[in-house]
A and B are shown apart, each in its own frame.
Chain A
Amino acid sequence: MKVSELTKKGEFKVFNESGDKEIKGVYISDMVSDIIGIGPGLLLITLQTHKNLIAAANLVDVAAVVFSRGKLPTDDVIALANKAGISLLGFEGDTWTLAKKLYEIGVR
């Protein structure tokens, strides 16, 4: 599934539309030191909204980042994500609810 297909399902706030990558899987983590070891093409779910997170997400070439629990990225974070071609999405519910939602709509 592409990121654009995911956003069309609704329920996601779209902070930017930058790159429309294929989602190859999902990874949940709030630790940059953990994220730097994941494979490319994953949808990253996190609570962290700082620039370090985007720098790590770019290094491992994530498909997109989803901030759960209604977290809002600042403008400089969105600007860095735009440069890196990383789509940033938001979800109001908690991470567990988001994980279930993604599974239900076919993201594996």
Chain B
Amino acid sequence: MTKIACKHKWVMTNIRSGYLVVEGCFHCGNKISFFSMEPAPPIDEYREGDHFWSHVGNFQASRFDLKCEKCSRAVPLHEVTAMMLCMRCNPECGVFKTGSEGRDRKTWVYVALCANTSHVAGKCVSGEGILVLNQYYNRGLQDPSKKIVVVPCELRKSVDTCQGIVLADVGLTDLY
């Protein structure tokens, strides 16, 4: 019997609220980020091998997984700490280049950010995770010529010069 492939209908599941915490090492200049579900985001400095990590900033953020409503297949997105809109600031950047392939005016490139911005360990968001994020965010777009392209952050040339807009909460505690 032939198995019919499911035309997945992804929905968010296992949504967790917390903080996107960014730390920097003054020794090597690397930056890392991680997702904290503690009531208050950690701001302690600490040493880890040759690194001296100190708190750079934190933002309220959420993590989620995707699950198909039809076949119940779940895709965990443990590596994704946040999404970021590419502002096309550097033509040498891999995100810019990927977004330029077959790009038209209504193509928007978003970067799925993982915890290790330096990618020293060679790990980033999984291919399956990127695939389902693309399917999820392109569902039901009103304008048929609009396209959302989600790429992994390992394509990004520099975390320090990147002008992308991270989709995390800012300004929630500002006075107005």
Contacts and interface: CB of A to CB of B under 8 A. Distances in A.
Interface of A: 19, 21-22, 30-34, 36-37, 39-41, 47-48, 50-52, 55-56, 58-61, 63, 71, 84-85
A32 B137 contact: no
Interface majority SS on A: helix, strand, loop or mixed? loop
A32 B108 contact: no
A33 B106 contact: no
Contact of B167 (A36, A61, A85): A36
A19 B145 CA distance: 13
A-B CB proximity, top 4 nearest: A33-B62, A55-B85, A55-B165, A40-B140
A50 B170 contact: yes
Interface in B157-176: 165-172, 176
A86 to B, nearest CB: 11
Interface residues on B, range: 20 to 34
Contact of B142 (A37, A41, A51): A41
A85 B143 contact: yes
Contacts of A59: 83, 85, 108, 110, 137, 148, 167
Nearest to A22: B142
A34 B83 contact: no
A60 B172 contact: no
Contacts of B168: 32-33, 52
Contacts of A50: 170-171
Contacts of B140: 39-41, 61
A36 B108 contact: no
A84 B108 contact: yes
